[in-house]
Chains A and B, each alone.
Chain A
Amino acid sequence: MKAQSIARRIAAVGLAFAAVGAAAACSASSSSKNGDTGTGSTTGSSSGSTGSSTTAAAGGGGTFTIWDPYPQFDGSSAWSQLLTKCGTDAGVTVKRTGFDTTDLTTKTLLAAQQGNPPDVLIVDNPVVSTLADAGVLTDTGTTKLDTSAVSPNLLAAGQLGGKTYGVPIGANTLALYYNKAVLSAAGVDISTVKDWPSLTAALEKVKAAGKKGITFSAIGTEEGSFQFLPWFWGSGANLKQLDSAQGVAAVTLWTDWLKKGYAPNSVINNTQTTSWQEFATGQYAFAENGTWQLANAKKAGFDYGIIPIPAVAGGTAAAPTGGEFVTIPVQDKTDRYATSQKLVACLTSSDNALATDTTLSYVAATKAVQDKQLAANPDLKPWIDAVAAAKGRTSDDLGTKYPKISQPLWTAVQTALSGSASPQSALKTAQGAAAAAIK
């Protein structure tokens, strides 16, 4: 009985190993095949750059796939129709899929691994350098995309090692929304809010008047870093040295607001959406939020205004740029680039960009289109100024190092805000972690 059961078990284990072994064999062959196509496509793309213009005709006809992070737009939306129209102009059928923005990076990496990436990919700007580093994206030199009209500070987010990997479709950034009724009840004149001390003084008055001061998002994800960066950069700090005196001052500013009750404790767990919901209650004087909330602000039912986020000693702090880049992923068939290039050029052309940026509630990436936007809607002025002052998270040639710095940074902000450590020691730990990660 016992012996039999042992024999049985050995047989079972043997079967399991055989199964695993077979799977291993399969995958080994498939992964080496992937490697082949990978190298094949990279060499193909460099040699194909000369051939692409001549084979443009070969790209005519057929179906071109476009992936974007705008699942909110269905087939009948203006965005979707624009894609179809651009496809028709280029003589091809466009097949569009909208993904949730957080899914898009993984989906793209997997598709690239399987040798099946989309022809045109619209992707969040801090991801561009990661995908470029992974060899998933073509640079604009290869595909002959024209980026000359794009504001350099916006284009910087898509540049790595001297090459540009896409065209921004538009940009958004952060600024301070304020509630006019709350401020006037507290006796605050918004024109006096010019730097950190005057902002803190305004918050103090608001609190004394029985209202709530400011809300933002300090959640433990990229969103938290995105919201903290204007204060971090506004203090004069640099992402390469997190624990500088300026960096400590920025974290201390937020920590003090929480301690004094100028900002609610819930900011530690707030996303930008929940933070906006707090502001929409009408109880808050200020909210740090983005361009994309403009439509909601109009629905909020109270009078609001917008000021750029102030730097420590006055002036506008650089806020991080948000918004997507239109990119062309690396293909095995390099003759497809010519048509993809036409599609991208169509999407980012002045008229189309104006329509798209209006639908997305973005600021355009080129000066010419920005002027048109301003003419149509003078309220956009503070946003256009904020975008002009904005800075890409991956610029300063940080590229793929940025994510490794961002995570320790948001952790430090959370540590300090939740009171587990002082701003000084939280940032010191963060700097240690970041330095070890980018080594």
Chain B
Amino acid sequence: MNPTTQARARTALFARPVRGARGAADTAPRRAPAHRPGARANWAGWAFLAPVTIYLVAFYAYPMYRNVELSLRHYTVRSFVHGGAPFTGLDNYRKVLDDPAFGPALTHTLVFTGVSLLCQFWIGMGLAVFFTRNFRLSATLRALFLVPWLLPLIVSASTWSWMLNSDSGIVNHVLHGLGIAPVDWLTSPTWALASVTIANIWIGIPFNLVMLHSGMQAIPSDIYEAAELDGATAWQRFWKVTFPLLRPVAAITLLLGLVYTLKVFDIIWIMTKGGPAGASATFATWSYQLGFGNLLPEFGPGAAVGNLLVVMALAFGLIYVRVQRKQREAL
């Protein structure tokens, strides 16, 4: 549940299957000709391949397959236990698409993800630039900025929900002190989504800060010196040197951030339960609501919504791969 481990695990997962699959593809055709002289090398190859294949099948392919299967059948609690759920094709997807909750959930997912990403990225970028200047206490300060990332999500989300409480929250208390009317952060349909987005931005900043900061460290300082000699201002140094050279790091940061934000569930669930009346429900919370948030689980539609999320993340992943390839070709 810790965002750090989650994000780390995600980095690892993201890198591994792609490389794993490619590695597998690499070895297969190349080893094939070697098959004739001696089969032993081939066996060794398969033996090396086996752990990762078993891992991928057991923890990725099979759950994914089960989720797709769940979404294509009409499951009731009885057929979930005893089997025999009828195949209903895309009925669950149709049901989900026709649901009046679909439109709002889609909008909320896009707004939540878009606004979170944009703010996290630029605030993280600003802080990263700030921390590239080595001043006294910069390491300490940077460490402090990591706190949101180190806190368990349940702690940060509960704290936010306390702070934003309509009646006893500190935020409204401060607003009152400033002479501003209190805002029903978590309980008004207009503010609920904004509140969970703000909390999510706060949690996501450290990740962007760390990624972009380490990316900046990798930019050779002689480029800056040359730019400075040519009379570039600080503003120009950022836009003409830092930003273009940071592009690969920025792209992976945004992509990881996107996948991470699309599936954010805990923060919203703890703060608002997707409410009031679905005003802050995203695909992630809606999917949970359908599958587990009710006395009577609706596995099929829940899985269908989950799959839509996977497809969304996959689409952006493919865009990333494409952009990356174009960049490489351009170099």
Contact = CB atoms under 8 A, between A and B. Distances in A.
Interface in B27-70: 28-29, 53, 56-57, 61-62, 64-66, 69
A38 B295 contact: no
B187 A133 contact: no
Given A106-B297, A135-B78, A269 B83 contact: no
A11 B25 contact: yes
B188 A134 contact: no
A15 B83 contact: no
Contacts of A213: none
Contact of A11 (B28, B56, B64, B277): B28
Given A12-B24, A19-B53, A403 B275 contact: no
Interface stretch (B105-113, B121-129, B160-168, B229-237): B160-168
Contacts, number: 157
B296 interface: yes
Contacts of A406: 294-295
A7 interface: yes
A27 B187 contact: no
B276 A269 contact: yes
Given A35-B83, A269-B186, A20 B21 contact: no
Interface in A263-313: 264-266, 268-269, 278
B66 A27 contact: yes
Contacts of A411: 277-278
A15 B25 contact: yes
A234 interface: no
Contact of B272 (A38, A269, A400, A426): A269
Interface residues of A, number: 60
B273 A221 contact: yes
B212 interface: no
A415 B277 contact: yes
Contacts of B326: none
A178 to B, nearest CB: 19
A220 B295 contact: no
B225 interface: no
Nearest to B32: A11
B295 A126 contact: yes
A90 to B, nearest CB: 27
Contact of A415 (B57, B62, B276, B296): B276
Q: Which 4 A-B pairs have the closest CB atoms?
A: A38-B82, A35-B83, A220-B275, A403-B296
20 contacts: A8-B25, A11-B25, A15-B25, A19-B56, A23-B65, A34-B82, A109-B77, A135-B81, A135-B82, A219-B275, A265-B166, A265-B184, A269-B161, A269-B166, A269-B187, A402-B295, A406-B295, A418-B189, A419-B188, A420-B276
